[in-house]
Structure 1
């Protein structure tokens, strides 16, 4: 898919900025601390301890990267949601409702089975920008067949 196929995309700026600043700060802090150790202190770290430290900082940086890249993208045939720990791809026919009420931390999506999925990309911390995005996404969703499905009557 090219960006021309994309109908709508939104990602929060505040989270991306915060995660980026924290990631670069962590790298700088780790680098400064390590370079301030004298050779004798550095030599006391075994290879296993060094790998453990790198794995720990790597996991934190991966988490910050995922936070910085949360987004929601709409295409003509589907909606893609990238949250911190999980990503979702739903055809429009599986989207029954989008709700972003006052006091909600982020947009709530309800699928055809009644499951609720938090869309972390559209969050209240973004203020008016998020409200506008929620309305735009709802309009795209309605235009592509999302919404409550009629229930068969007996």
Structure 2
């Protein structure tokens, strides 16, 4: 493993699911918008063109919210790990990482930090099976390489 290696990982299955769901949401909201017509005689409600456009706009906003999940990623190199979750990004140097964990039954991997804190890595999900396992192994290898370069200097 070279010192300039960069590991970039993104979830696989959730991205496909999110894109499919986002398209479905836009289609459903568009169909609802086209079904909003003028008075039908069965109720007091009347719908204008603006209501139809608002419904389509609402569908687009929901789809954008769903697509926020596709932003998940983790990038690591010799200096540290950069994690982007749905809300928040974290830049953690290897000195602050005690372990890269992916416990049985966990939905995603995590970093065990020095201060007894834990940082979830949502980009490495159990649903991705071998892709996630390979990602955790790559992160562990980078962490081990960093530990080997630091330990001889401290001793």
TM-score interval (norm. to shorter): 0.7 to 0.9
**By how many angstroms is 1:55 displaced?**
5.5
Gaps of 5+ in 1: 150-154
Deviations 1:22-45 (A, max 9, x none): 111111111122123225543286
Give the equivalent residue in structure 2 for 1:152: none
Q: Does residue 144 of structure 2 align to residue 142 of structure 1?
A: yes
Find the aligned partners of 2:47 and 2:126 in 1 and give their Cα distance. 45
Question: SS at the partner of 2:66?
Answer: helix
Deviations 1:41-74 (A, max 9, x none): 432867xxx39x846751x333312211211111
Residues paired across the two proteins, number: 140
Question: SS at the partner of 1:144?
Answer: helix
TM-score normalized with structure 1 length: 0.76
Shift in CA distance, 44/132, structure 1 to aligned 2, threshold 3 Å: closer
TM-align CA RMSD: 2.9
Q: How does 1:3-152 map to 2 (within 5 A)?
A: 7-39=6-38, 41-43=46-48, 50=54, 54=57, 58=61, 60-145=62-147
TM-score normalized with structure 2 length: 0.76
Find the aligned partners of 1:6 and 1:18 in 2 and give their Cα distance. 30
Find the aligned partners of 2:117 and 2:31 in 1 and give their Cα distance. 47
